């Protein structure tokens, strides 16, 4: 994966895309990044709950040429692990479409949730469906940028909630060049020990490509995915900083707050990371 001009790029999730009213009013993701002194932005290319294919962005050339790190997040409901053909097969096509569109804006990677199978299903089927997703795509030349799988907060038979499940998944897809996103709120909700999470995850995947640095509104092990500002949640702020430092990779904040609040968080984190 290519490097970045910043030692520890710190970015913020800024909205679904140029169709988002807030982003339009703010002048787009690059203007938003500049207003917060952010090194990067994370965006959706469509409504995150939509199965629509992404459309070309009018700012694609600007995003691709900028020094601002761009991360694209795939739609939330995309689930290529499921045994439901009506969800899995269109999901594979949609994933490929988002990967292509993300590459066109020069994205660092495409973040995608691991998905899940039904309670009655063997999770091994979901693992194999992920393997097939990469195998089918490789017939067309592979994904044009890294797919970054993200750990999730809850859900039965989830592919990336527990470290053991991630281990089984990585045995199947690690050789295909998949990357990984560590979300601190999700890890906390799933009951991980954040003091050892970076080492635990690297022991399984051999890599952490991105950290979603988020505090949590809920207690440890709650299985609830409710993000909080870095200094206002249940996770000690110094523990979040420790995770970011240990991971030694780009960071995206998905914390609630306005531009001044995010600018303050970026400044605090940048100082702590050096």
What angle in degrees, to the nearest 10, is found between the helix axes of 197-205 and 237-247? 30
CATH 3.20.20.150 fits 10-273, yes or no: yes
Question: For the segment 4-22, what is each residue's pLDDT rounded down to a tens digit?
Answer: 455 679 999 997 544 444 4
Match 């970076």 to its residue by tokens.
198
Where residue 139 falls among pLDDT bands split at 50, 70, 90? very high
pLDDT above 50: residue 242:
yes
pLDDT above 90: residue 86:
yes
- pTM listed for this prediction: 0.94
pLDDT above 70: residue 137:
yes
Closest CA to 210 of 219, 218, 201: 201
pLDDT at 56: 94
pLDDT above 60: residue 85:
yes
Which of 1-5, 6-10, 92-96 has the largest mean confidence? 92-96
Do β-strands 227-228 and 215-216 pair in parallel, antiparallel, or remain unpaired? Answer: antiparallel
Question: For the segment 146-194, what is each residue's pLDDT rounded down to a tens digit?
Answer: 999 999 998 879 999 999 999 999 999 999 999 999 999 999 999 999 9
pLDDT above 80: residue 3:
no
Question: For the segment 23-75, what is each residue's pLDDT rounded down to a tens digit?
Answer: 444 579 999 999 999 999 999 999 999 899 999 999 999 999 999 999 999 99
Q: Which residues, including other chains, have CB under 8 Å from residue 269's CB and lie 6 or more apart?
A: 10, 213, 230, 241, 244, 251, 253
pLDDT at 22: 45
In 3-state terms, what secondary structure has residue 217? coil
Report the percent of the chain where pLDDT is more than 70: 93
Q: Where are the domains of the chain?
A: 10-273
pLDDT at 27: 73
pLDDT at 165: 97
CB 185 within 8 A of CB 212: yes
CB 20 within 8 A of CB 49: no
């Amino acid at each position: 994966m290519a490097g970045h001009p910043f030692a520890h790029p710190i970015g913020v999730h800024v909205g679904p895309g140029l169709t988002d009213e807030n982003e339009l009013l703010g002048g787009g993701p690059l203007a938003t990044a500049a207003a917060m002194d952010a090194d990067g932005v994370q965006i959706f290319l469509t409504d995150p709950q939509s199965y629509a294919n992404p459309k070309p962005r009018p700012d694609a050339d600007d995003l691709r040429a900028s020094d601002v790190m761009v991360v694209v997040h795939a739609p939330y409901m995309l689930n290529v692990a499921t045994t439901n053909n009506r969800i899995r097969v269109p999901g594979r096509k949609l994933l490929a479409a988002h990967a292509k569109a993300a590459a066109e804006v020069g994205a660092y990677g495409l973040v995608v949730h691991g998905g899940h199978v039904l309670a009655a299903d063997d999770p091994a089927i979901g693992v194999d469906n992920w393997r097939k997703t990469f195998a089918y795509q490789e017939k067309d030349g592979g994904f044009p940028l890294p797919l970054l799988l993200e750990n999730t907060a809850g859900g039965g038979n989830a592919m990336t909630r527990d470290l053991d499940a991630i281990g089984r998944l990585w045995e199947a897809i690690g050789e295909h060049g998949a990357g990984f996103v560590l979300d601190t709120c999700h890890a906390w909700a799933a009951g991980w020990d954040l003091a050892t999470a970076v080492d635990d995850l690297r022991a399984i995947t051999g890599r952490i490509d991105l950290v979603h640095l988020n505090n949590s509104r809920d207690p440890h092990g709650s299985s609830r995915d409710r993000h909080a500002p870095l200094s206002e949640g249940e996770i000690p702020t110094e523990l979040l900083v420790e995770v970011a430092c240990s991971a030694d990779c780009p960071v995206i904040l998905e914390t609630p707050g306005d531009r001044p609040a995010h600018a303050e968080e970026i400044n605090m984190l940048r100082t702590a990371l050096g």
